[in-house]
Structure 1
Amino acid sequence: MLEIVKHTIEAHQMLTPGEAVLVALSGGADSTALLRALLLLGYPVRAFHLNHCLRGAEAERDEAFCRSLCARLQVPLTVSRADIRAESVQRGESIETAARHIRYERLFAAAGADRIATAHTADDSAETVLFHLARGTGPEGLTGIPPVRGQLVRPLIETTRADVEDFLRQLGQDYVTDSTNADDRYTRNRIRHAVIPVLREINPALPDAVTRLSGLLRQDNAYLDGEAERLLCAARRASGKWQVDTLRSAHPALRSRAVKMLVKHSGVTMRDIAATHIQALERLLETDDPSAALSLPHGFTARREYDTVYITAAAAPALRREPVLLTVPFDRPVWGGTLHLSVRRLEKKQSFYKSFNTFLVDCGTICFDTFCVRARMPGDRLRLSKKGGSRTLKKLMIDRKIPRLQRDELAVLADKNGVIAVQNLGMDISRAPKGGALIEITIEG
């Protein structure tokens, strides 16, 4: 087994010669074998043990075993204790999930900058593949447990459980056994006790076969992920949105990966994203609705905005844009400071600087008692030129490709006779100067 472990460490560049490493030590066969193997290979080893306080006297026995083993081998040991049952309630997580999170949190804290070695074997990886297969998965779920993931290394990942037990037998090394490993109420245990033995009858070298498959799939995944990343970069626009046509025209194998990466880049927690979400996002690329939206977990929303797509976090409640009566002069922020509006009477000798969202209006066309700024309302219409008739604001905004979410945020200047001008659209031709007194209206925001 030592030769396999040595080859695994070198092949996956897990550790450099003499590099310090922290072993996650439960006291079971796998972690005990890992500790002994790394010591025999000459690595400076520390150990970490977490007492989950879930199994009463058995948990105390495991901690005592780890203390005794490390004392005998002169290995520095850090022991941490956690009331996992209480912590799971406080975190709102299952006991298994809370235990995993706390274990890794404390393991990384104990490791500092050192690598962390965990004792996953080829059997564990095969069980993981079968577990994912039974639940439903894509290619990534069939890649098994990776040999290296960031700071974590798994030197036993190419050894079998039989290799481990034989190694310990040769050393005369005892270990402890977790009684819950025999409990078939846990899915992984049922796979280990009922499924694996049947598959081993078909192929006694099952863990090795799964290890080869997982290695090939990891290789394929790395290449396809790189191509999908390049696709996503090509689709990215300066606004932080993504070009629909670029994504839609890609091969489905790359498109689905790129969409998944898009979700991840947007800050969505990936463990809550299922295949159904990715499929729905791909349909969002295909839809003819230029303002379609899709709800994602934790309040995130994916939106089409004409020829782009983007994902936003849960938005704050929309600001109420109540009508604000305008006087002449007027120069101040409105609607919580999201808009600045100025209205001034323009004398004949004053210059008018024509610019976007600055309107020159004939005073004789305005009812100043009802002159206000408000959000759009049903039935609002605007005639922008003498050649055409009036059109609804909705149709004008669609023609200008103003996103649906922004349409109710635009300022509408109006009086009892109707719309005077609209931010980002223009002024009604009926309000244009006719030779009388003028006001200048400027909208910023």
Structure 2
Amino acid sequence: MTAYLGDWRGRYRGAALCVVRPATTAAVAAVVRVCAEAGVAMVPQGGNTSLCGAATPGSDGRSVLISLSRMRRVRAIDTLNNTITVEAGCVLQTVQEAAAEAGRLFPLSLAAEGSCQLGGNLSTNAGGVQVLRYGNTRELTLGLEVVLPSGEVWDGLRALRKDNTGYDLKHLFIGAEGTLGIITAAVLKLFPKPRSTATAWLAIASPALAVRLLAELQAQFGASLTACELVSEQALDLVRKHLPGAHPSVSASPWHLLIELSGSSDEAALREALTSFLAAALDQRMLGDALLAQSIEQARCLWALRENIGEAQKIEGQSIKHDVSLPISRLPEFVERADRALLLAYPEIRIVTFGHIGDGNLHYNQSTSAAGENAAFLAAQPEVNRIVHDLVHELGGSISAEHGIGQLKRVELLRYKSPVEIEMMRAIKRTLDPQGLMNPGKVL
């Protein structure tokens, strides 16, 4: 059971009575009924790529871990309705490939897409790099099938874009991290495959310039702007250090911006339009340099620079991670004020900042460069969190943008959610899971 009992980051390790691996919804329901009758807690798990410990059992060893990894069928694809129905154990990349084979696009895309599973994506309302155009997992979901804590099955697999027949129950389970029930299948939206893409890596001086460039890109290209990713030089340095040779050479710069356009127009026309935009930005000194991908392979290499940051950080060692979102207009102020406050409190700190600036989501991580000193610094996480999260709250942001709450931020949630919100959440939990058996110790 070893592989199931620890998280991807190596931060949490738990114990369980056993691991069960049902292959059908009926089998999941049977397992849940047995556990409910015996009063035994259950921990649902997908690809086990959680960054907040949501899929890791507690240390008491009294729970049953339910892995959805055998539930990996693509049940149906409807190209006329632009939908795909998949089981929760489907790996995200498998869903993307099934959509592509049908001539469609499933746009959810993130670094763990080769191992994360749809059930986990749904349970954390995963975001990724294309939220700017297509939205979070919540916006990509039309219907769900869920095994409730009683063992009953709710069949909400509706492929409808309009359905005003009362409460939209699927939204209770999306982002609930398995605390209200176990998602076993979903109906997801598909989109036409873009005929053309244009990808560029930009060297910029500051997050303020990144926000300004984002606004101008949106004004000129509208919905064709698929992604806009901010990367600090410190983040890029870790990729250069730990994954050398796997990426193109890009100019050193305090900050970087990775942008992608996609659409139905001719690719040459799209690239020409982006080239003109970048030339004008260079003339206005908004950019220090720009590299426009000349092929699909070069575009993939540019994306690898961004997508390998998490892996490079893992190789470097543990760090204090923050997954925050803010109004886009407040991002530069947050970075400037948070950097200043942290460096004042911890002069030896190294701050690694990157994320989805197009939707206001930053991954804001801290460590020290000396391995011997890092353990002592990690012990200061409550104080570091207070600096970062208090400022996020002051600026109207959220302490969790796309990674969820899990075990990591459960206490933090109480500080930043109002008592009314917390009690509403607890009331929903009591109603659906009166025994408190579904993924205990997570979120609430």
The answer, yes or no, to whether TM exceeds 0.5 is no
TM-score (norm 1): 0.24
TM-score (norm 2): 0.24
- Of structures 1 and 2, the one with the larger relative CO (CA 8 A, separation 6+) is 2
For the pair shown, which has the larger CA radius of gyration, 1 or 2? Answer: 1
